[in-house]
Chains A and B, each alone.
Chain A
């Protein structure tokens, strides 16, 4: 029955015949384990395509949202952490396999006549693979992604002659924004996959046309691809797949804090397979920098591409190719050495500065800024003002304001807009000076990267910060680095204390912490609830 269906199908589509033809391809008798890496590379590419597709079901490709949706994938979506782990570590597996595949081709002399075009298509495939790594690095939109990509676009900006043009093309003149992000995303999920599929097809067709490169001196009768070589390919793929699965399940794929363009203390590091390049840049300074950023990488790619025309000798016996082997070893040692040096110079991640799945953008605000957010809401600033894509259209977009203003200037403006800027439609903001200060602090803190996240701060938190400010808690306590250190820091108080403990502590501090100098606070119930909510939310 099955036979009849298959025959029917084959008669109509030629599918079975085509598969048989592909599987029964003749290959040299000497091929075996060293020839498995091509199949492995194809497998890992397809696996990246599948896991990437799965991620896209829960991923929002815009700055800010990207981070939150990825955090959602990793913390809430069923199996999300594994899928992201497979995609993240799969990229590294892919690089390793491609490198092994190329090393095999070099050792076997597989780039030599008549296989020059096969080799060159392979070099393009390598560049596409690296392009995937580079563009995908930005997509989590955490600090690592942001700063790593800043470095990459800055290198592009230094390209002799076309630097300015590239900067405009990537829209990366003022840091990484929505346009750069959209371009990287489009490259990563649209253009590069299409290019990869096309080049892979060409590469495989060429391999089939010229046949697998035999070991020198192999004159034995050819064997079939199926089942012997297919079995070896399958075992190799299986081993690689197992390694990847173990990595995905046991090693958390990194997701650092939300990208913060103002975090000048962040030390960007590229992905490990770009580390050698990163380290090499340190060797060239000043006007020589372009040697490290462009000339050497450009020469390397050029040499790789033209390798079949540089090394034209026909002999492919390894012992006759001492030069080729020496160069390969030299390159491998160089890459390894530079990578090791880069890893050694990487500072250990600061305590608490590493993976941080739960801290939201608003958790980094100082109490004054947070209280300002509450005033910002209560004064309905967004009825007139836009904040990015949200809010009204009457007043200017608050993300577009000049950044250099001081709190003092803004407070002056809030008090009496017409006097500061004659002709403006803005009504005066009627708040106490201290509250105006907080409002100004918040407005200055708003930027394109954090706006969406900040505007979603829970109400109780923002209002709690107002209570915090009104009662001058900052005169004794520190939150997010702001305040005096008379009393204990309040960051992370929620991990030590319960809501009930805090509520009771406000009323009678000495009962719960004997010797404390904190005065009792008999606040209205609602204020106490907000304040407690705020404190418990502090990371």
Chain B
């Protein structure tokens, strides 16, 4: 395309054309690619604040005996607010101290259960075992069980945001 024998005026005009063509298309490409990349690659922030959710009455909960309590939570799923049933493993460690674990194993998200015989939490998927205060005893789990923030009003238990296990003492 660049073999035409041009006079100098023609060739400078040609250079101007080429600069215009490539320059403007590059500009438009960038102006479009930038918002498109943001749109596709930057997921929207969570705007919903964590709220306290009522789990239930813990008046009858015995010390040292974990219990799986189910409750309703409202969660934001994209453009929807959905209400769904979820659970927490609640353990009263003493009269004044109580912990609530999220119900999934920290390894790959399986549901674990309380192994009465050995007195620990056991995940059936890859046999991760956790002590009653959530620490990893054996198996591939990378960190202690995640916990909910808890709040007690009278005998009613409320849970809030989730704290990753291993970051709490």
Q: If A78-B44, A231-B17 touch, does A83 touch B78 (CB 8 Å cutoff)? A: no
Q: Interface with A: B33-41, B124-132, B143-151, which one? A: B33-41
B33 CB to closest chain A CB (Å) equals 10
Interface string of A34-77 (1 = CB under 8 A from B): 00000000000001001000100110100001001101100011
Complex CA distance for A483 and B40, rounded to whole angstroms: 47
A366 CB to closest chain B CB (Å) equals 21
Complex CA distance for A57 and B79, rounded to whole angstroms: 13
Contact of A79 with B by CB under 8 A: yes
B16 CB to closest chain A CB (Å) equals 8
Contact of B61 with A by CB under 8 A: no
A370 CB to closest chain B CB (Å) equals 16
- Tell me which residues from 5 to 37 in chain B have a Cβ below 8 Å from any Cβ of chain A: 14, 17-18, 20-21, 24-25, 27-28, 31-32, 35-36
Interface string of B57-68 (1 = CB under 8 A from A): 000000000000
Residues of chain B within 8 A of A230, CB atoms compared: 17, 21
Contact of A15 with B by CB under 8 A: no
Q: Interface with A: B80-88, B101-109, B160-168, which one? A: B80-88
Residues of chain A within 8 A of B83, CB atoms compared: 456, 459
Closest residue of A by beta carbon distance from B46: A76
Interface string of A222-236 (1 = CB under 8 A from B): 000011101100110
Residues of chain A within 8 A of B82, CB atoms compared: 456
Decide: B28 and A231 in contact? CB cutoff 8 A: no
Decide: B31 and A241 in contact? CB cutoff 8 A: yes
Residues of chain B within 8 A of A76, CB atoms compared: 44-45, 47, 79
Decide: A237 and B40 in contact? CB cutoff 8 A: no
Decide: A238 and B28 in contact? CB cutoff 8 A: yes
Chain B: interface residue count, which band? 20 to 34
B117 CB to closest chain A CB (Å) equals 37
Interface string of B39-56 (1 = CB under 8 A from A): 110111101000000000
Contact of A20 with B by CB under 8 A: yes
Decide: B79 and A72 in contact? CB cutoff 8 A: yes
Q: If A72-B78, A228-B17, A456-B80 touch, does A54 touch B31 (CB 8 Å cutoff)? A: no
Contact of A448 with B by CB under 8 A: no
Complex CA distance for A255 and B32, rounded to whole angstroms: 23
Residues of chain A within 8 A of B72, CB atoms compared: 459
Decide: A68 and B42 in contact? CB cutoff 8 A: no
A245 CB to closest chain B CB (Å) equals 6
Residues of chain B within 8 A of A392, CB atoms compared: none
Contact of A24 with B by CB under 8 A: yes
Interface string of A128-163 (1 = CB under 8 A from B): 000000000000000000000000000000000000
Closest residue of A by beta carbon distance from B44: A76
Residues of chain B within 8 A of A241, CB atoms compared: 28, 31
Residues of chain B within 8 A of A444, CB atoms compared: none
Decide: B79 and A238 in contact? CB cutoff 8 A: no
Contact of A268 with B by CB under 8 A: no
Chain A: interface residue count, which band? 35 or more
Contact of A458 with B by CB under 8 A: yes
Decide: A78 and B38 in contact? CB cutoff 8 A: yes
Contact for A226 among B1, B25, B27, B28, CB less than 8 A:
B1
Contact of A254 with B by CB under 8 A: no
Contact of B152 with A by CB under 8 A: no
B111 CB to closest chain A CB (Å) equals 25
B21 CB to closest chain A CB (Å) equals 5
Complex CA distance for A76 and B82, rounded to whole angstroms: 17
Decide: B79 and A60 in contact? CB cutoff 8 A: yes
Decide: A54 and B20 in contact? CB cutoff 8 A: no
Contact for B21 among A65, A69, A227, CB less than 8 A:
A227
Q: If A69-B79, A227-B14 touch, does A77 touch B39 (CB 8 Å cutoff)? A: yes
A21 CB to closest chain B CB (Å) equals 12
Residue of A227, A230, A237, A238 most packed against chain B (CB within 10 A): A227
Complex CA distance for A230 and B17, rounded to whole angstroms: 8
Q: If A78-B42, A245-B31 touch, does A68 touch B80 (CB 8 Å cutoff)? A: yes
Decide: B40 and A71 in contact? CB cutoff 8 A: no
Q: If A20-B1, A230-B21 touch, does A57 touch B40 (CB 8 Å cutoff)? A: yes
B55 CB to closest chain A CB (Å) equals 14
Contact of B110 with A by CB under 8 A: no
Decide: B78 and A456 in contact? CB cutoff 8 A: no
Residues of chain A within 8 A of B81, CB atoms compared: 456, 458
Contact of A80 with B by CB under 8 A: yes
Decide: A234 and B38 in contact? CB cutoff 8 A: no
Contact for A238 among B24, B38, B42, CB less than 8 A:
B24
Decide: A231 and B20 in contact? CB cutoff 8 A: yes
B83 CB to closest chain A CB (Å) equals 7
Closest residue of B by beta carbon distance from A457: B81
Closest residue of A by beta carbon distance from B19: A231
Decide: A459 and B39 in contact? CB cutoff 8 A: no
Mind listing 26 A-B residue pairs with CB under 8 Å? Answer: A54-B36, A60-B79, A65-B79, A68-B79, A69-B78, A69-B79, A72-B44, A72-B78, A76-B44, A76-B45, A76-B47, A77-B44, A79-B42, A82-B39, A227-B14, A227-B21, A234-B20, A235-B20, A241-B28, A241-B31, A245-B31, A456-B80, A456-B82, A458-B81, A459-B72, A459-B83
Spell out A's residues near B (CB within 8 Å): 20, 23-24, 47, 50, 54, 57-58, 60, 65, 68-69, 71-72, 76-80, 82-83, 226-228, 230-231, 234-235, 237-238, 241, 245, 456, 458-459
Spell out B's residues near A (CB within 8 Å): 1, 14, 17-18, 20-21, 24-25, 27-28, 31-32, 35-36, 38-40, 42-45, 47, 72, 74, 78-83
Other A-B contacts than A77-B44, A78-B44, 8 sampled, CB-CB below 8 A, are A54-B39, A54-B40, A78-B38, A226-B1, A230-B21, A231-B17, A234-B20, A458-B81
